[in-house]
Amino acid sequence: MAPGALDGDEAHVRIADLKSLLSLPGQSGIEIRRLYASVYASLAERKYDRALTDLNKAGNLAPEFALTKWKLALLYEAMGDIDRARENFTRYVQLTSEQSAKDEAALHLSTLDAKRTKYEEEVGKRTKAKHEVGSVALPYLMLMRSSNFRGRVSIFRSLLLFSLSERKPTS
């Protein structure tokens, strides 16, 4: 690896993960390494549900393997499942012996509630916007696709009436 590489920190983390995976003995170690290969491929393909399934399988095979708890916690955190993220970060803190790793997990734990609030606000905004756009999108698409003039006038009138009926009184 080149000194000062842009992905140097990420590469060091990946190397540490691989060393940790190589320390797992026996047939279960082989299976967990296979699952992790699948997890990394799934994440690269943005198949998060598949990555989550494989991480949970790895967690069932080796419940005392701290790296799996860390990866599960991060994935649940990113998905907005704060309760499962908290559960896995807490278990990770119990399993790991490195103080810097415990501190990093503690930082995540301390910000979970704020992230939940932000996540819920964002989902609420998207749901509201989707509802507002969705209520006029179909008639508008029909208007744009209509080939005859009478059809366009009829659809436009329906669209106008529909949008007026959705307005809430201001008083």
Distance of alpha carbon 73 from alpha carbon 103, whole angstroms: 15
pLDDT for 143: 44
Token pair, residue 141, equals: 């698409």
pLDDT for 11: 65
pLDDT for 129: 55
Question: Residue 64's closest CA among 32, 34, 26, 92?
Answer: 92
pLDDT for 48: 87
Residues of the chain with pLDDT under 70: 1-17, 19, 22, 126-171
Give the DSSP H/E element, type plus range, for residue 149: helix 149-166
Whether the CB-CB separation of 146 and 155 falls below 8 Å is answered with: yes
How much is the mean pLDDT over the chain? 74
Question: Residue 155's closest CA among 168, 166, 142, 167?
Answer: 142
Fold of 10-112: 1.25.40
pLDDT for 157: 56
